A = this chain, B = another copy of it.
Amino acid sequence: MQLTETHRPTLDQALEAIRTRAYWSPHPEHPKAYGETAPADGLAAFEALRDTRFDLDQPGTDGWTGGEVSPYGPELGIEYPHADPDVLLPAMRAGTAAWRDAGPETRALVCIEILARISARTHEFAHAVMHTSGQAFLMAFQAGGPHAQDRGLEAVAYAYAEQTRTPAAADWSKPQGKRDPLELRKTFTAAGRGIALMIGCNTFPTWNGYPGLFASLATGNAVLVKPHPRAVLPLAMTVKVAREVLAEAGFDPNLVALATERPGEGIAKTLAVRPEIRIIDYTGSTAFGDWLEANARQAQVYTEKAGVNTVVVDSTDDYKGMLSNLAFSLSLYSGQMCTTPQNVLVPRDGITTDQGHRTYDEVAADLAAAVSGLLGDDARANALLGALVNPDVKARLEAASGLGEVALASREVPHPEFPGATVRTPVMVKLDGARKLWESPDAEPAYLSECFGPVSFVVAVDSTDDALELLRRTVRDKGAMTVGAYTTSQETERALEEVCLDESAQLSLNLTGGVYVNQTAAFSDFHGSGGNPAANAALCDGAFVSNRFRVVEVRRQA
């Protein structure tokens, strides 16, 4: 493979992008950019996978398992290899010495080739992501395709930069006055820790999976991919591509392997504490994330867990823009993003806007109207909402209307193509945010728990100061992937920044256009901060990659 000629410019551009944090992406967002026949080819390739065995030719395969059902209704009918870890893990370890010896640049270029081949099949991946996560097609295409690939490439760039901070060799000469200097020849080798375990999630199998997968692989580790049992296909396809590229580049394909589980088997718990597993990446529930951190003590553990995202509404000079921006954020993928706002804090006495004063009740009603308007047309609603990913989300949605006064009721949206899809517009509930309801450490109002799905709370607080204090309490105790805020006051803006700096939360201010609080761009925006309970790592920064390998020094007398 002509890896250097083909991919070194991409690596260099990625390195420049993470340094400047300007906009950059090598992966086109528009489906048309992939060629005229790509849509039909992608769909056909996806359909061809259905009702087949997805063979990966992995060591230790002791059976087949499957059972994915699309949130849009159809059973996928795909069976995946089930592995005996006592056979598979030693086989994965076998190739790590050669992978280490290849060095950071070759590893980066091989990773970029994997990403390039995935990119070329983005239409096929889009269908796989759509029919496992329930995302609408365009979102599955973009978030599951180019945006996920961007995050993978970003991790590769950080991994390369981190491993090459120390030179491969150095001559060291220490003066000794009139005597000869002391002289040593030193070599420095970035060595992976062993096998990394990437535990995928249901909603964003590629987007949340690629950073850990590529960060570990690029730093010299083998990677065992354990997908969510409802979202195996996109990661199985990824593993297959990775194995093909590794083999073609002369490495052991077993450096990347898939681990699927039989119903109820719970292999993540077993694999996570195996001594061979030295790194774990996980996106999912707080309960299992905390369990991993407490129990997988032999591994570096990177977790993204539950959080409660807040939007503080203090004042705005673009009321209409604010409403439409928030309405989109609350609707996209039925609020099933870890970055979707949940609590909209509005002062009880109302807010100042360019359209005059608006009471709390008016803000709630106007926001409800904005969501209704956005989702009034069924075709548009389907394109934005996607399907509910699982019955738990539906149950939470249905229970939410009992929590308080409903500002906006959820409605069923029929899907023209997939009658089995569960498509629902979001519910919006008005709740009381009086200080006495949340300031005691034991207080547990509904808005202080994550209610994952298309549920938001418009919370009446006594003042903007109270909103800031509730924001601080929420981030500190519950964690947050995002914070949004609207204010025209410099003082309030500064106070918001202070809270976010103190509690380590990522803040989006006064978004009224086509950028949304729940979206981040690789190479520029950090996803999470790693400094509050929602996640112990950010995507991507130095800390995300620097402990996946160690630098081993050999020094010799010169």
Interface set of A (CB-CB < 8 Å, partner B) = 18-23, 97, 100, 162, 165-167, 170-176, 182, 184, 186, 188-189, 191, 193, 293-294, 297, 497-498, 500-502, 504-515, 521, 524-526, 529-531, 538, 541-543, 546-547, 550-557
The reply to whether B166 and A555 contact each other, CB–CB distance below 8 Å, is: no
**Bound Cα distance from A293 to B521, whole angstroms:** 34
The reply to whether A497 and B162 contact each other, CB–CB distance below 8 Å, is: no
CB within 8 Å for A552 and B506 given contacts A184-B515, A542-B162: yes
The reply to whether A182 and B507 contact each other, CB–CB distance below 8 Å, is: no
Q: How far is the CB of A419 from chain B (nearest CB, A)?
A: 35
Q: How far is the CB of A316 from chain B (nearest CB, A)?
A: 12
The reply to whether B525 and A555 contact each other, CB–CB distance below 8 Å, is: yes
CB within 8 Å for A555 and B97 given contacts A22-B173, A172-B22: no
Q: How far is the CB of A47 from chain B (nearest CB, A)?
A: 31
A sample of 17 inter-chain contacts (CB < 8 A) reads A18-B165, A21-B188, A22-B171, A22-B173, A172-B521, A176-B514, A182-B515, A504-B550, A507-B554, A507-B555, A508-B556, A510-B556, A512-B557, A525-B553, A525-B555, A529-B550, A547-B547
Please pick, from B497, B538, B547, the residue contacting A543 in the complex, using a CB distance under 8 A: B547
Q: How far is the CB of A547 from chain B (nearest CB, A)?
A: 4
Q: How many copies of the polypeptide does the oligomer hold?
A: 2
Q: How far is the CB of A187 from chain B (nearest CB, A)?
A: 9
The reply to whether B525 and A550 contact each other, CB–CB distance below 8 Å, is: no
Please pick, from B182, B502, B505, B555, the residue contacting A513 in the complex, using a CB distance under 8 A: B182
The reply to whether B500 and A552 contact each other, CB–CB distance below 8 Å, is: yes
Please pick, from B167, B293, B502, the residue contacting A297 in the complex, using a CB distance under 8 A: B293
CB within 8 Å for A508 and B21 given contacts A174-B521, A182-B515: no
The reply to whether A505 and B552 contact each other, CB–CB distance below 8 Å, is: yes
Please pick, from B497, B502, B511, B552, the residue contacting A529 in the complex, using a CB distance under 8 A: B552
Q: How far is the CB of A15 from chain B (nearest CB, A)?
A: 11
The reply to whether B526 and A193 contact each other, CB–CB distance below 8 Å, is: no
The reply to whether B513 and A19 contact each other, CB–CB distance below 8 Å, is: no
The reply to whether A541 and B551 contact each other, CB–CB distance below 8 Å, is: yes
Q: How far is the CB of A523 from chain B (nearest CB, A)?
A: 9
**Bound Cα distance from A511 to B555, whole angstroms:** 9
A530 contacts which chain B residues (CB < 8 A)? 547, 550
The reply to whether A21 and B531 contact each other, CB–CB distance below 8 Å, is: no
Q: How far is the CB of A287 from chain B (nearest CB, A)?
A: 15
A498 contacts which chain B residues (CB < 8 A)? 97
Q: How far is the CB of A189 from chain B (nearest CB, A)?
A: 6
The reply to whether B546 and A542 contact each other, CB–CB distance below 8 Å, is: yes
A550 contacts which chain B residues (CB < 8 A)? 504, 529-531, 538
A502 contacts which chain B residues (CB < 8 A)? 97, 191
Q: How far is the CB of A326 from chain B (nearest CB, A)?
A: 14
